[in-house]
Structure 1
Amino acid sequence: MRSLTEDLRCNEGRWLPTTARLGFGKDKFNKGTTYKPVWLYNSSEFGLDNVTTCEVFDFSTNARRQLVPASPCRILAYQRPVYFDGSLYWLTECQETKVVSFHLYSETFQVISNKAPFPHLPDHCNVTMCVLDNRLCVSQIFWPTQVIWSFDSSSGCWTEMCSIDLTETVSW
């Protein structure tokens, strides 16, 4: 008998790609408490026709299932998903960077931000998504400046929370 960890990591006899990052969140609309681990990964490099593959583990049935359709955009492979307010969020790898969400209750994907103020990410290592002040935020370092953008879900707009001159704050 496989352990839960082995079951979560194993995909039809294959291990999930190392770039698959586990998202974990709470479906806040279901009665009771429903937590869901979610894997979303770029699958075209594995010879699959679909752009991404999404798998959800269901604790009530102790099984995982593949969701179709998955995200409409390739995701930044090494970014960890962020949980906020009943959804998981990923930055995309499209020609222009977008933010895609996965609603844990309806199990559907949606591009929530087509016009991000950080349209082209020259270095994916210098961008981080997080939750600050109860808002989805993206921090981008473009040396010598770090800018933190905040997303207002009601208007669908990004606003600059702050800009930090790193030459003033970082001592070598």
Structure 2
Amino acid sequence: MLSEEVEPLRVPEGLDAIQYRTPLLVGAPQMRLPSASELNPGPPRAVSTGGRGDANAFMAWSAEGVYLSVLDGPESVNRRLGFAIKRSGMRALDDAANGDHRFEYVHLRPDERSFWQKMAFWNRSSGPDYSGFYRTQVVADGDNTRVFLFLDSGSPAPTGAAEHVLGIFMERLG
């Protein structure tokens, strides 16, 4: 890009001279880069388990990704989350005291097709399978609590899986 030096501005008499100040630098904290499964050019999906207006738990987004916001303290949410894991048919792997619950989730989808639809095996659309090993992280957020979902390896869970599993917790905790 080419630039050209020009004469400074001439200020007419009776007016204040121009004050050249340093530019204002606005800083922003660095956000984590989204994983490949989170790179979706479309608009964000509406969670089908969006909850009611009077719900105590709802889905929200942050720089860390999707999380479940619960209108309760971390100790209570940690205890209730342990119950929700066991009562939702998930297999708890650790009984965590610090909010990091490890569990296995098996995504069951009942086959509601008729006999003739089942005969057309090539026409089966099973959709995504969110089965796997996960862990939660409970973080205090003022008077409320945030629940994040991670894969067992420690990396953030894909957005679709996080929305699905946290949606199950939202129904139980809400």
Question: For the superposition of Structure 1 and Structure 2, which TM-score range results when normalised by the shorter chain?
Answer: under 0.3
Per the normalisation by structure 2, the TM-score is 0.23
Comparing both structures, which one devotes a greater share of its residues to helix? 2
Comparing both structures, which one devotes a greater share of its residues to strand? 1
Q: Which of structures 1 and 2 has the bigger CA Rg?
A: 2
Higher relative contact order (CA 8 A, sep 6+): 2
